[in-house]
Amino acid sequence: MKFERKDILGIKELSVDEINLILETAESFLEISTRKIKKVPILRGKTIINLFYEASTRTRTSFEIAGKRLSADTINISASTSSVVKGETLIDTARNLEAMNPDVIVIRHSASGAPHLLARLVKQSIINAGDGAHEHPTQALLDMMTIKEHKGKIAGLNVAIIGDIEHSRVARSNIYGLSKMGANVVLAGPATMLPRDIEQMGVKVYNKIEDAIEGVDVIMMLRIQLERQKQCIFPSLREYSQHYCLNRNNIKLAKKDVIVMHPGPINRGVEISPDIADDPSCSVILDQVNKGVAVRMALLYLLTGGGE
């Protein structure tokens, strides 16, 4: 199968075949990062621009490492040191970058739909590295890759996503992806953090974490993103934690071999207790980060004509 897309904007529009192709390509790249010489020449002479309008360590670093291990030239632009401060529009910034002939522009932006706007306007490939509360497709792909490795499959698994669903692009992308791949997705969170009509996405919704995680194979905890909440939607972190923190007690409700995931950065003791986050018998959080580099290598490769 050949990968035909110009851009990776969201999981919503990807087919099962496309997701499988990406995951298989990523699996084949995983080994490169364990070599003594962690570098292959397949993207030599390609230019990748990381255009980050929001602060990021892991995602930007992951894309930069992915690009460099494929021998691409990587250019970082962060909003704080760019002409954004001079009031240039996103469209003009993108068109200017386009004129410098990059091959891929990776964009993170606080506005939902920003990558889609760019994808329509510029001829280069766009990868959405997170747009507002909309999608974060590379996160969902690395999550699916992690689940597949630990469980051998995605279809038929029961997956609980817990926390601030409303503000989470990670949740949205994973709901699309996991449902497509045949998993049963259930959600839990305070009523103020659940989007209306979320059941229309084909998921079951609970208010209590205990109801959601009962008997599941995978628990995905979300980060409380205080910076994205426009209003006070819960009384206090302490109260949130009392009801929704994953800990030694409530995790017993899940399957014995449950795996625990988190997109990071973790608020220790808020959405997940430190002993669970650090427990190698269930936590696959750092494994997710590891898969992230491979998934991004796969996408950079496929979008620049890999396999042709």
Nearer to a second copy, 51 or 186 (CB): 51
Of 87, 254, 293, nearest to 162 (Cα)?
A: 254
Structure tokens at 69: 């291990």
For a second copy, the binding residue among 5, 20, 27, 75 (CB under 8 A) is 75
Residue window 137-156: x/- pattern of binding to a second copy, with contact defined by CB under 8 A: --------------------
Structure tokens at 288: 């997710």
Residue window 231-270: x/- pattern of binding to a second copy, with contact defined by CB under 8 A: ---------------------------------xxxxx--
Q: Report the nearest approach of a second copy to the CB of residue 76 (Å).
A: 8
The b-or-e profile of 219-239 (16+ CB within 10 A means b, else e) is bbbbbbeeebeeeeebeeeee
For a second copy, the binding residue among 34, 231, 236, 281 (CB under 8 A) is 34
Bin 134: left if φ > 0, else alpha if -120 < ψ < 50, else beta: alpha
Number of CB atoms found within 10 A of residue 209's CB: 24
Based on the shown chain and the rule CB under 8 A, indicate whether residue 121 belongs to the binding site for a second copy. no
Of 125, 121, 118, 119, nearest to 103 (Cα)?
A: 125
Based on the shown chain and the rule CB under 8 A, indicate whether residue 26 belongs to the binding site for a second copy. no
The b-or-e profile of 298-308 (16+ CB within 10 A means b, else e) is bbbbbbbebee
For a second copy, the binding residue among 2, 45, 152, 281 (CB under 8 A) is 45
- Taking a C-beta distance cutoff of 8 angstroms, is the pair 121, 65 a contact? no
Based on the shown chain and the rule CB under 8 A, indicate whether residue 280 belongs to the binding site for a second copy. no
Task: Report how many residues bind a second copy under the rule CB under 8 A.
Answer: 59
- Taking a C-beta distance cutoff of 8 angstroms, is the pair 244, 189 a contact? yes
Measured CA distances, 119 to 47, 145, 281 (Å): 17, 25, 41
Select from 123-131, 149-157, 198-206, 287-295 the region that touches a second copy (CB under 8 A). 287-295
Based on the shown chain and the rule CB under 8 A, indicate whether residue 130 belongs to the binding site for a second copy. no
Nearer to a second copy, 30 or 201 (CB): 30
Based on the shown chain and the rule CB under 8 A, indicate whether residue 163 belongs to the binding site for a second copy. no
Residues of this chain that interact with a second copy (CB under 8 A) are 33-39, 44-47, 49, 52, 55-58, 61-62, 64-65, 68-69, 73, 75, 77-78, 80-89, 92-93, 95-102, 227, 264-268, 286-287, 289-290, 292-293
